[in-house]
């Protein structure tokens, strides 16, 4: 069974950390740097889960989430939104955009892995 | 004749008296009422009085203008000061945000190495990395607290006011710290009345206050218990968090809510405190329109109290 995870994150270090973490747990990883790339990658790769950063250049994480959830072919893909530190209201906005879960930065990699396993064991 | 003479003398004197009375009340119009017709002593007195009144009026006006000018200067200086203070807080908030990004990366990679994602880690290196992680977390907590407090001071924290359950909030907080208390064999008790009214406030921020007070109590108590009590009276919650810890000296009680005031820097550092938690708690309580204070006796434990209006519809401005 394939276990593809799409990471949409503009910061290289965060992308590497998430990628290395997921590879070590035997997931397959697709990377996107912008919101637009994220939406396109979701369409072409149909991942099993998407990790979506909020602060992205251009199309932000909320809008990218909304577009993916508006697409009937993609709306079943769980999206975990990664929000910035304790900006109150971010979680509400993330759920309004249609995400399935959110995790606040700074997250521990252990926490993130546990959250991912809830959706893709 | 006597009568006429009397009125001649007394009339201007009565006028003078009236004018003097007006003058003493700060009314300078009286001197214009004085009609001098005579060339005698009363006439001279009247003239002198008028001159004095005019001179007084002039200096009074000058004084008033000066006070106005100075008040304007002062209010401008105050506005500038407030701006500068806001800029400072804004700078701190931005800087804290910028500092966290690379620190998160450092912590992320450290965790991955510690979890052996890049392969086996020799014992010694594992131990050192553990210390690296612990210090990194301490730094991160400091930065987060500075970010919090500078955001509050820059007026950039808006309470998100919603209905929530006080029982739920206390229960969640207790659950979150239960293991910490258990590790130290401390008893953790919470008393909440079951028929609490419906609550409105910023649940996340109020939870932060509870977390801080209960967390501190557990951190500094080596044996005994930590007790949380919630009561309601007159539309306000009265919350107490008491411990059987070392207690606080009177001097410490006075300064404990100040930024970076820690009772014993070496021990608190060991315990991972930042010295900002209580300052943040104080501001959150104040933003809700409540008060926070401490009662303590050295060697006999401490009780932190705070009040919180049950329904907060509008955030309080704090200076």
Half-sphere exposure of B288 toward its Cβ, with a 13 Å CA cutoff?
Answer: 31
Tell me which chain A residue has its CA closest to the CA of residue B100: A106
Q: What is the DSSP string of B138-187?
A: HHHHHHHHHHHHHHHHTT------EEE-HHHHHHHHHHHHHHHHHHTT-E
Q: What burial class does residue B121 get, using C-beta atoms within 10 Å of its C-beta: 0-12 exposed, 13-18 middle, 19+ buried?
A: middle
Nearest CA distance, A94 vs chain B (angstrom): 16
Residue B224, pLDDT score: 92
For residues A15 and A32, give the distance between their C-alpha atoms in angstroms, rounded to a whole number: 9
Q: Do B100 and A85 touch (CB under 8 A)?
A: yes
Q: What is the pTM of this model?
A: 0.64
For residues B242 and B304, give the distance between their C-alpha atoms in angstroms, rounded to a whole number: 6
Q: Which of A88, A91, A92, A110 to mutate to test the interface with B (most CBs of B within 10 A)?
A: A88
Q: Burial code of B279-312, b = ≥16 C-beta within 10 A, e = fewer?
A: bbbbbbbbbbbbebebebeeeebbbbbbbbbbeb
Task: Summarize the confidence of residues A83-97 as an average pLDDT.
Answer: 68
Residues of B in CB contact (< 8 Å) with A are: 100-105, 107-109, 111-112, 115, 117-118, 140, 144, 147-148, 157-158, 160, 202, 204-205
Residue B46: strand, helix, or coil: helix
DSSP state for residue B311 in the 8-state scheme: B
Q: Which of B95, B105, B106, B108 to mutate to test the interface with A (most CBs of A within 10 A)?
A: B108
> pLDDT tens track of chain B, all 319 residues?
566 666 666 777 787 788 888 878 878 776 666 666 667 777 788 788 888 888 888 888 899 999 999 999 999 999 998 888 878 877 877 777 788 888 889 999 999 999 999 999 999 999 999 999 988 988 888 888 888 887 777 777 788 888 988 988 898 889 888 888 888 999 999 999 888 888 999 988 899 999 999 999 998 898 999 999 999 988 899 999 999 988 888 888 888 888 777 666 555 555 667 778 898 899 999 999 999 999 988 888 999 999 999 988 888 877 5
For strands A49-53 and A4-8, give the pairing. Answer: parallel
Tell me which chain B residue has its CA closest to the CA of residue A23: B117
Residue B245: strand, helix, or coil: coil
């Amino acid at each position: 069974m394939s276990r593809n995870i799409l990471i949409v994150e503009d910061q290289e270090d965060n992308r590497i950390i998430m990628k290395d973490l997921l590879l070590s747990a035997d997931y397959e990883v697709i990377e996107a740097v912008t919101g637009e790339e994220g939406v396109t990658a979701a369409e072409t790769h149909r991942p099993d889960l998407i990790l979506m950063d909020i602060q992205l250049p251009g199309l932000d994480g909320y809008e990218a989430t909304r577009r993916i959830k508006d697409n009937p072919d993609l709306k079943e893909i769980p999206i975990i939104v990664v929000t910035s530190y304790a900006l109150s209201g971010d979680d509400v906005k993330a759920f309004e955009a249609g995400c399935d879960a959110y995790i606040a930065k700074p997250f521990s990699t252990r926490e993130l892995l546990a959250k991912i396993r809830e959706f893709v064991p | 004749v006597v009568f006429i003479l009397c009125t001649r003398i007394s009339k201007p004197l009565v006028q003078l008296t009236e004018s003097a009375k007006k003058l003493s009340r700060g009314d300078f119009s009286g001197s214009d009422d004085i009609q001098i017709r005579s060339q005698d002593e009363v006439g001279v007195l009247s003239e002198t009085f008028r001159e004095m009144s005019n001179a007084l009026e002039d200096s009074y006006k000058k004084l008033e203008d000066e006070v106005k000018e100075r008040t304007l200067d002062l209010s401008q200086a105050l506005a500038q000061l407030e701006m500068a203070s806001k800029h400072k807080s804004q700078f701190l908030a931005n800087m804290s945000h910028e500092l966290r990004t690379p620190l998160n990366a450092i912590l992320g990679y450290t965790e991955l190495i510690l979890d052996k994602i890049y392969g086996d880690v020799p014992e010694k290196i594992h131990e050192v990395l553990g210390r690296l992680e612990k210090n990194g977390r301490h730094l991160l907590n400091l930065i987060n607290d500075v970010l919090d407090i500078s955001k509050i001071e820059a007026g950039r924290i808006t309470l998100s006011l919603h209905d929530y359950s006080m029982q739920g909030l206390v229960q969640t907080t207790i659950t979150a710290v239960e293991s910490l208390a258990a590790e130290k064999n401390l008893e953790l008790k919470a008393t909440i009345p079951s028929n609490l009214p419906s609550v409105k406030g910023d649940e996340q921020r109020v939870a932060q206050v509870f977390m801080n007070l209960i967390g501190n109590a557990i951190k500094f108590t080596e044996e005994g218990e930590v007790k949380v009590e919630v009561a309601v009276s007159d539309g306000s919650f009265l919350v107490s968090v008491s411990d059987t810890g070392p207690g606080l000296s009177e001097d410490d009680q006075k300064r404990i809510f100040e930024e970076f005031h820690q009772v014993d820097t070496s021990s608190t550092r060991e315990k991972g405190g930042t010295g900002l938690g209580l300052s943040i708690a104080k501001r959150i309580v104040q933003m809700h329109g409540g008060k926070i204070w401490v009662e303590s006796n050295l060697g006999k434990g401490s009780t932190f109290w705070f009040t919180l209006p049950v329904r907060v519809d509008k955030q309080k401005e704090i200076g």
